[in-house]
Amino acid sequence: MARYARVKGSIALITLTNPPVNALSAAVRRGIMESVSRALKDEQVKAVVFCGENEKFCGGADIKEFSGSMSGPPLVPLIHSIEAGEKPMVAAIEGVALGGGLELALGCHYRVANTKACLGLPEVTLGLLPAAGGTQRLPRLIGIPAALELITTGRHVSAQEALQLGIVDQVAQGSAVQAAMELALSVIGQPLNPRRLSLRAPVWAPDVDGVCDAALAQVKQRSRGAMAPVACVQAVRAAAMLPYSKGMERERQLMDTLFRSGQAQAMQYAFFAQRNAGKWSLPNGSQWNNTRARDVQRAGVIGLGTMGRGIAVSLVKAGISVVAIETDAKQLESGKKAVTAMLQRDAQRRGVSPPLHLLTFTLSFHQLRDVDLVIEAVFEDMNLKKRVFSDLCKVLRANSLICTNTSGLNVDELAAVTDRQPLVVGMHFFAPAHVMKLLEVVYGARSSPEAVATAMALGKRIEKVCVAVGNCSGFVGNRMLKLYLDQSVYMLEEGATPEQVDQALEEFGFAMGIFKVSDLSGLDVGWRVRKASGLIGPDVDPVKPSRWRLGRRYCPLPDMLCQQGRFGQKTGRGWYLYDSPGSKEAKSDPEIQTFLEDYRRKYGIIPRRITSQEVIERCAFALANEGFRILEDRIAASPEDIDVIYLFGYGWPRHRGGPMFYASQVGLSVVLEKLEHYHRIHPDVPSLEPSRLLRRLVAEGSPPIQQWKSHIKNLRSHL
Ligand SMILES: CCC/C=C/C(=O)SCCNC(=O)CCNC(=O)[C@H](O)C(C)(C)COP(=O)([O-])OP(=O)([O-])OC[C@H]1O[C@@H](n2cnc3c(N)ncnc32)[C@H](O)[C@@H]1OP(=O)([O-])[O-]
């Protein structure tokens, strides 16, 4: 898995061959070891160049190997043998040099990249650290502060930035391999010790301790509860403080701890889950590799509210022409201003000119006659959307797709008013749509595989993480969210405060607790949905609203807050207090404490102490339990799909894998036991009743999550 060739008379060219990214599998490592030994022995060979097949240097260690028992030559001594080699070793970096791939290059004496290459040490995103000497060599090459930044974020840098930082010696306009060979020929005979990074002292920086302390504080704040970023800082600190060999020892110890941690497993699971989500399949057997997507050149966006604006920006940035429609001239003008400003800011950041020529703003539906696809993003109101859908059918070409950005309305009901049910799908973006990565592509009962393939391909083109899901109220993400929200407000009734619940969730790893998120999104949104669904009506007692609706427990606290005009950040008051409307810093509000105490008194609830453990169990297990129901109902094809939705759309901490992975890691029998316990205490909350699928999986011996899909298939017939 490494090809050896002698070129230009005196150069050994070692090519890593393990498509698609030339990952350093056992066979590749063995191939490199044998090739290096051959090159060092061959007297005709005066220098060695390393490159990767298909213009991709190397994507790093083979992540698939991490879950099994490791075999083959280990990477650390292999890289040492390259660095210690008595002939110049040059890395020719094309495509990617990531993780172990970059560490291999750092073991070489020289590095040449071509202009399109990107480099980085992304191990931290897999719950690990660059343990093939990366934490010790990089600081010796580019200094502690720059190495800390790259290693703790896992950020990829361009060849140009790598040159500025000093990671590469040269950037070639054309082939990096050609340039590396020329460089290799030119350095034959020159001393190699100065080029061996392990022999260097780290680049001196003032107050290294202070720099490391600041980095530690920053990573703790940024990735709450995640072990890997902290270990990365500790390893780089070792590079600054200890001789190389001791630093390597520290790197290995830290890696051993991380490697065995559940966090690394969760993050590696998330890596593959994200990639598997693109391999969608429908219950009828159509899937990603047997269905062709249509090409989309021109798209329409209906409605230029927050969502429509973000969608238009995402499309235009991907080079798609957009006809943006509003019904009101003032709205159109303000939408135009906002979209233009967003595109200008983005273009300025990237140093390019904004693609404004791709945009048409209009009040006329007739301008949509040439578009390949329309995304409707009007107000979340079924009747309004139906009107828009039937109006669209009058002007669109017969084969244009109609997509709705509804966050939970029935896609089939909308499709039914059109003349093209197979061409209707949901494209559920998350706010702000030009920033948030997640896209739920919702297929209805009559959506054609081609329409699903087209929406998935379009999503990928605009750089979203797309998950195909079935049609039900709230789809996957919001259907589960509702139960998580319910548990949170029930706990307020029972004795908790918003601060306590949020703190528990933030300690678990969420960037923001549920009440802070609700304030950010606006409490009025859910209020409107509850009104539309008949949960709030004129028959509700305004003084002592019922805590029992539609046959189950209901918590009126969020409605009561809205009645007081507390809509969250936008009104300066919600579950928290803000300095002014629109400001972001949440402060505890004594009025809320009094409000909750009055409420409990009014209903005769004796408050009790709610622990962080209870908060996490009730929130996380309620989410997973609904996830199991979603799998039973075939709304999601796999637990990975559900986890990807929670990772990319709802801020679930990556080092916890996702709610389904978390349930599997805690143990399905534990989750079942806990749900039974909470359901016994709260029999009026049907969502806490363990799902049939969870019970069956436990009865089947709690198989690992990777095997659930086949179990679900077998179990479905019994359910
Ligand atoms: C002592 C140890 C110290 C070192 C530790 C490390 O190096 S840790 C590693 C540090 N390195 C990283 O963290 C880099 C991780 N990789 C990436 O970030 C991206 O894959 C990419 C930027 C390399 C290419 O992006 P792109 O959008 O062009 O393509 P794509 O993302 O769709 O992937 C295509 C296929 O390749 C697969 N695959 C990819 N990499 C690996 C791998 N290392 N291994 C195995 N497989 C890998 C991927 O699963 C997919 O397979 P599928 O679904 O077709 O069966």
| 59 C-beta closer than 6 A to ligand 1 | yes
Contacts of 376 (CB under 8 A, 6+ apart): 302, 303, 385, 388, 389, 392, 402, 403, 404, 405
Ligand 1 near 96 CB (within 6 A) = yes
Within 10 Å of residue 206's Cβ, how many Cβ atoms?
6
Q: Which residues contact 418 (CB under 8 A, 6 or more apart)?
A: 389, 390, 392, 393, 402, 424
Distance CA 564, CA 559 (A): 9
Please name the residue whose Cα sits nearest to atom 14 of ligand 1: 59
- Joined together, the tokens standing for residue 438 give 């997640």
Distance 114 CA to ligand 1 centre (A): 20
Name the residue ranges covered by the structural domains of the chain. 2-260, 298-474, 496-603, 612-716
**Distances in whole angstroms, Cα of residue 414 to Cα of each of 41, 451, 505:** 72, 15, 37
Region of residue 40 (phi > 0: left; psi between -120 and 50: alpha; otherwise: beta): alpha
Q: Supply the residue whose CA is at minimum distance from atom 53 of ligand 1.
A: 275
Q: Residues 59, 19: contact at Cβ < 8 Å?
A: no
CB 63 less than 6 A from any atom of ligand 1:
yes
Number of other residues whose CB lies within 10 A of the CB of residue 413: 14
Burial code (b: 16+ CB inside 10 Å, e: under 16) for 608-625 equals eebeeebbbbbbbbbbbb
Q: Given the DSSP bridges, would you call strands 465-470 and 438-443 parallel, antiparallel or unpaired?
A: parallel
Give me the phi and psi of 550, to 5 degrees please: 45, 40
CB of 123 sitting under 6 A from ligand 1: yes
**Residue at 455: amino acid letter:** A
CA 465 – ligand 1 centroid, Å: 16
Ligand 1 atom at minimal distance to the Cα of residue 272:
49
Is the Cβ atom of 95 under 6 angstroms away from ligand 1?
no
CATH 3.40.50.1100 for domain 2-260, yes or no, is no
Sheet containing 11-16, strands listed edge to edge, beginning at the edge strand earlier in sequence? 2-7, 11-16, 47-52, 89-93, 110-114, 170-172
Cis peptide before 20 (omega within 30 of 0): yes
Distance 156 CA to ligand 1 centre (A): 13
* Second CATH level (architecture) for the domain 612-716: Orthogonal Bundle (1.10)
CB-based contacts of 198, cutoff 8 Å, min separation 6? 80, 83, 133, 136, 137, 140, 244
Q: Atom of ligand 1 at shortest distance to CA of 125?
A: 13
Q: Is residue 455 within 8 Å of residue 403, measured between CB atoms?
A: yes
- Cα-to-centroid distance, 70 and ligand 1 (Å): 18
Record the tokens describing residue 40, joined without a space.
């060092």
pLDDT of amino acid 533: 83
Q: How far apart are CA 136 and CA 139, in angstroms?
A: 6
With a 6 Å cutoff on the Cβ, whether 23 touches ligand 1 is yes
Neighbours of 213 (CB within 10 A): 13
Which pLDDT value is given to residue 712? 82
Residue in the structure block whose two tokens are 């669109």:
396
Distances (CA, A) of 74 to 25, 210, 232, 268, 323: 10, 34, 21, 20, 56
Largest CA distance in the chain: 94
Cα 243 versus chain centre, distance: 37
10-residue averages of pLDDT along the chain (719 residues): 96 98 98 98 98 98 91 96 98 98 98 98 98 98 96 98 98 97 97 97 85 96 94 97 96 96 96 96 93 97 96 98 96 97 96 96 96 96 96 97 96 98 98 96 97 98 98 96 96 98 96 95 90 86 90 95 96 97 95 97 97 98 98 95 98 97 98 98 96 95 92 67
Residue with CA at minimum distance from ligand 1 atom 26: 21
Burial 697-707 (b: 16+ CB within 10 A, else e): bbeeebeebee
Distance 98 CA to ligand 1 centre (A): 9
88 Cβ below 6 A of ligand 1: no
Active site members: 103, 123
CA of 74 to the centre of ligand 1 (A): 19
Report yes or no: 368 and 296 within 8 Å, Cβ to Cβ.
Answer: no
565: three-class secondary structure by DSSP: coil
Which residues lie below 8 Å from residue 664, measured CB to CB, with a gap of 6+?
639, 702, 704, 705, 708
| Nearest atom in ligand 1 to 64's CA | 45
pTM: 0.95
Closest CA to 716 of 660, 633, 627: 633
Decide: 106 in ligand 1 pocket, CB within 6 A.
no
Amino acid at residue number 496: A
Question: At which residue do the structure tokens 């979340």 appear?
Answer: 380
Instruction: Give, for 3, the enclosing helix (H) or strand (E).
Output: strand 2-7
Q: Please report the pLDDT score of residue 160 as a whole number.
A: 97
Is the Cβ atom of 64 under 6 angstroms away from ligand 1? yes
- Nearest atom in ligand 1 to 63's CA: 44
Q: Do residues 167 and 147 lie in contact, with contact meaning Cβ atoms separated by under 8 Å?
A: no
Q: Do domains 2-260 and 496-603 have the same CATH topology?
A: no
> Taking a C-beta distance cutoff of 8 angstroms, is the pair 374, 368 a contact?
yes
What residue spans of 352-462 are helical by DSSP H? 382-395, 411-415, 449-461
Could you confirm whether domain 496-603 is CATH 1.10.1040.10? Answer: yes
Pocket test for ligand 1, best of 22, 55, 63 (most atoms within 8 A of CB): 63
Q: Could you confirm whether domain 298-474 is CATH 3.90.1150.10? A: no
- Cα-flanking dihedrals φ and ψ of residue 182, to 5°? -65, -45
Kindly give the distance from the C-alpha atom of residue 59 to the centroid of ligand 1, in angstroms, as a whole number.
5
DSSP string, 365-389: GGGGTT-SEEEE---S-HHHHHHHH
Give the Cα separation of 486 and 490 in Å (integer). Answer: 6
197: amino acid identity, one letter = L
Q: What integer pLDDT is reported at residue 529 of this predicted model? A: 85
Ligand 1 closest atom vs CA 134 = 3
- Opening angle at CA 376, ends 373 and 381, nearest 5: 155
Coil, strand or helix: which one is 184? helix
What is the predicted ipTM? 0.99
Residue 163, both tokens: 């040159």
Q: For strands 47-52 and 96-98, give the pairing.
A: unpaired
Q: Which helix (H) or strand (E) holds 548?
A: strand 548-549
User: Two tokens at 461?
Assistant: 């083109």
Q: Rounded distance, CA 453 to CA 450, Å? A: 5
Contact 58, 92 (CB under 8 A): no
Kindly report the three-state secondary structure assignment for every residue of 568-601.
EHHHCECCCECCCCCCCCCECCHHHHHHHHHHHH
Looking at the CA of residue 126, tell me the nearest atom of ligand 1: 13
Could you check whether the bond before residue 88 is cis, i.e. omega within 30 degrees of 0?
no
Cα(604) to centroid of ligand 1, in Å?
A: 57
Amino acid at 649: G
Q: Which atom of ligand 1 lies at the shortest distance from residue 74's CA? A: 1
* C-beta neighbour count of 7 within 10 angstroms: 11
State if residue 60 touches ligand 1 by the CB under 6 angstroms criterion: yes
Question: For 61, which DSSP code?
Answer: B
Pick the residue whose CA is nearest to atom 21 on ligand 1: 59
Between CA 638 and CA 269 the distance in angstroms is 13
What distance in Å separates the CA atoms of residue 457 and residue 468, rounded to the nearest whole number? 11
Q: Nearest CA to 455 among 662, 299, 337, 586? A: 299
